[in-house]
Structure 1
Amino acid sequence: MRDRRLFNLFAANSKRGSFRADAASNTIELYDLIVSSEIEAEWYGGVSLQGFAKAMRGMAGTVHVRINSPGGDVFAGVGIAQIMREYDGEIVAHVDGYAASAASVVAIAADKVVMAPASMMMIHKAWTWGIGNADDLMATAELLEKIDGQLAEGYAARGSKDAATFMNLMAAETWLTPQEAIDCGLADEMAGEKDKAATNARARWDVSAFERAPAPPAAQGDDKIRAAVEAALAERDRQDRDKAAAIVAAEQERGQRRRRAQLLARTA
């Protein structure tokens, strides 16, 4: 499915991500957009269904899929999820930043979902746009309803709430914290506090294409820079105040000396 907002998401995040598979450690890093084809991957960056399938063929035993993705093509996400479900072994999904939109579909296909403390999972109704007459647009709406129904059923199959509840959450474009994802059954546990990279991971992506996206987090490096600048400005302000106070004191001293001189001149 295609929508102008999806194109905006792709354009804003083109070439920002990375996709890596390491058979030695059985780890796949899906830190990228989810795109519909290898041609689209060449244009925007991102991982396609074909690319993910190729990576999975090199794996054996327990596989760790590390996810930081703003989402992308819903059918590619569904296909990747199916490849994961058919894998002959355990798959653990680690949400290191965002598992948004189609990336949430990928995450919940794992046998176990672990979310970093500052990570987020987002679910929403499918996007598209249509051209044609009333019949064409009604057919497009019916297709979207079917896709939304399938997504809601998928969340319900993994989660602890029914499909109707998940449909309402999708309609609200819901951004779930780790605890909220655990509470509705889409995640199993939260990673330890030692994992503090999620804020930096989320800061990589521009998610402004979504209607209810949270404010972009500041990366830890940006926090350090901001703190250093604020400290420098505070020190400059302190120095300026000290200089101003010294000038005032000097003027007061000069004024007192002038008044004393004037008084002596009158009494001489």
Structure 2
Amino acid sequence: MSKKAKPRVYDKAGKQVKVADKSWYTFQASGEAEQRNIEIFVYGEIGAWGVTANQFVQDLRAMDDGMSPVIVAFNSIGGDLFDGLAIHNALSRLGERCTGRIDALAASAASVAVCGAHRVVIAANAMLMIHNPYTFTGGDAEDFRRVADVLDQTLEAIIAAYKAKAPNIDEAELRRMVNAETWLTANEAVALGLADEVGDGLKVSACLGQGSVLQRFQHAPAELLAQLDEEPEAEPPEPDPAPVLDAAKLALMVTQGCAAAGISNLVEPLLAATKLESEAVIQAALIKAKALHGLCVAARLPELTGEFITAGLDEAAVRARLFDKLVGSGGGFEINNSLPLDDDPVPKVKAKQVDTHSIWTTRQAAQNGTSKGARA
């Protein structure tokens, strides 16, 4: 039987700005009330695996005063296309006071989102990538025809977003570049009208931390892939650790921290994972547990959070595990702008075929035995 599911468009697929919870997504305001500047950093995925359009818009509404300049900095591999379109439109509504800034990479849905800004500044060593929507699906012929129609419709939405930023762009050439998965340098993006100015070069590679995500694209530039193999910069020396608390106080920290974060069901896994080593270890574990819980909730598999914590998995590994489970669940289809990896696992057989002959033979044997017993 064909399964009908609402399509989701996203691609599979970090940050220099220091924030308390190690998040790659943050809002900050600077200056006096009369001269505020609102700066937004989107250094990661867009959509359920990262920041949703709903979260972005709600946070923007909470901080925006209707007058201050808004700068949205992107270093993103992409994400959910519909969320990217919603962010595009949210930036467009800000009008002339909105500037989009590409610090390193605006790929796929992120390129759609940044083009909603009135003015786009791209760093001299940054790139903007445009390509067709991509998906995986299963089902009968009618399901595949329906998915193809959805892909055609979403492509038109992508083209419209780029043309809104660059109305004079040659549409035939734009479609050719989108179809070819084109990686644009800063000067090329400005020449096409998808960016307005080339800014100073920056070294920002946080969103490239998931190498397998970048490698899903067909034509990712070699220089970007090379960054994945670079040795990470040395971290500044950590301050002297605070005095270790006794076990009872550390256990109370875990319990209270879980209650405050709404993850009280994870107390036992966290106690086992941290071994109550120190306050710093527990604080880090709580932050990580909250992030993993958010990923599992987004995937509608919150029951797996404790298992992942016990296994000591990081966010990248959890994303991969959840992605594999979603792909193998057979619960409809998702439109994914990324390409599958060469080593993606072969889908597992979900059910054994019914052996009708064996069932019939067993029933016949049982009936014969009953008949002989009755005659005896």
Q: TM-score, normalised by structure 2?
A: 0.51
Larger Rg belongs to: 1
What is the aligned partner in structure 2 of residue 48 from structure 1? 52
How far is 1:161 from its partner? 1.5
Task: State the alpha-carbon separation in 1 of the partners of residues 157 and 189 from structure 2.
Answer: 19
Q: How many corresponding residue pairs?
A: 207
1:124 aligned residue (126, 131, 146): 131
**1:174-193 alignment runs, 5 A limit:** 174-192=182-200
Report the CA distance between 1:140 and its aligned residue: 1.1
**Alpha-carbon deviation of 1:6?**
3.4
Which residue in the other structure is 1:149 paired with? 156
Structure 2 stretches lacking a partner, 5+ long: 1-6, 14-21, 31-36, 235-376
Please say if residues 124 and 174 of structure 1, whose CA atoms lie closer than 8 Å, have aligned partners that are also in contact: yes
Indicate the structure whose relative CO is greater, using CA pairs within 8 Å and at least 6 residues apart: 2
Task: Give 1:173's aligned residue.
Answer: 181
1:259 maps to none
Match of 1:59 among 61, 64, 87: 64
Is structure 2 residue 42 aligned with structure 1 residue 30? Answer: yes
C-alpha displacement at 1:139, in angstroms?
Answer: 1.6
CA distance in 1: counterparts of 2:130 and 2:230, whole angstroms: 29
1:157 Cα deviation after fit? 2.7
Change (3 A) 1:51 1:165: same
| Larger displacement relative to structure 2 (162-171 or 67-76) | 162-171
Letter of the 2:115 partner, please give it.
Answer: I
- Relative to structure 1, the CA distance from residue 217 to residue 188 in structure 2 (aligned partners, 3 Å threshold; closer, same or farther) is farther
For the pair 1:20 / 2:29, whether they are aligned, the reply is: no
Contact 1:91 1:110 (8 Å CA) reproduced: yes
Per-residue deviation, 1:171: 0.7
Change (3 A) 1:88 1:223: closer
Q: Which residue number corresponds to residue 231 of structure 1?
A: none
The superposition leaves residues 130-174 of structure 1 with CA deviations (integer Å, 9 ceiling, x where unpaired) of 222212211211111111122112212322323322111111000
Equivalent-residue separation in structure 2 for 1:98 and 1:129 (angstroms): 25
Conserved? CA contact 1:124–1:172, under 8 Å: yes
Residue-by-residue CA offset, 1:40-93 (whole Å, 9 max, x unaligned): 3xxx4x111111112211123210001000001100100111111122651101
Residue 135 of structure 2 aligns to a residue whose secondary structure is coil
In the alignment, which residue of structure 2 is the partner of 1:246? none
TM-score between both structures, scaled by the size of structure 1:
0.70
Checking the alignment, whether the CA contact within 8 Å between 1:69 and 1:103 is kept in structure 2 is yes
Unaligned runs of 5+ in 1: 10-15, 226-268
RMSD of aligned alpha carbons:
2.7
CA spacing shift, 1:219–1:138, aligned 2, 3 Å: closer
Tell whether 2:103 aligns with 1:82.
Answer: no
Name the CA shift for 1:221/1:211 in 2 (closer, same or farther; >3 Å): closer
The letter for the 2-side match of 1:208 is Q
> Would you say 1:6 and 2:11 are equivalent positions?
yes
Does the residue aligned with 1:23 lie in a helix, a strand or coil? Answer: strand
**Alpha-carbon separation, structure 2, partners of 1:21 and 1:224:** 25
The answer (yes or no) to whether the contact 2:132–2:179 under 8 Å persists in 1 is yes
Distance 1:116 1:219, change over 3 A: farther
Deviations 1:193-221 (A, max 9, x none): xx4324x4564453111111112143897
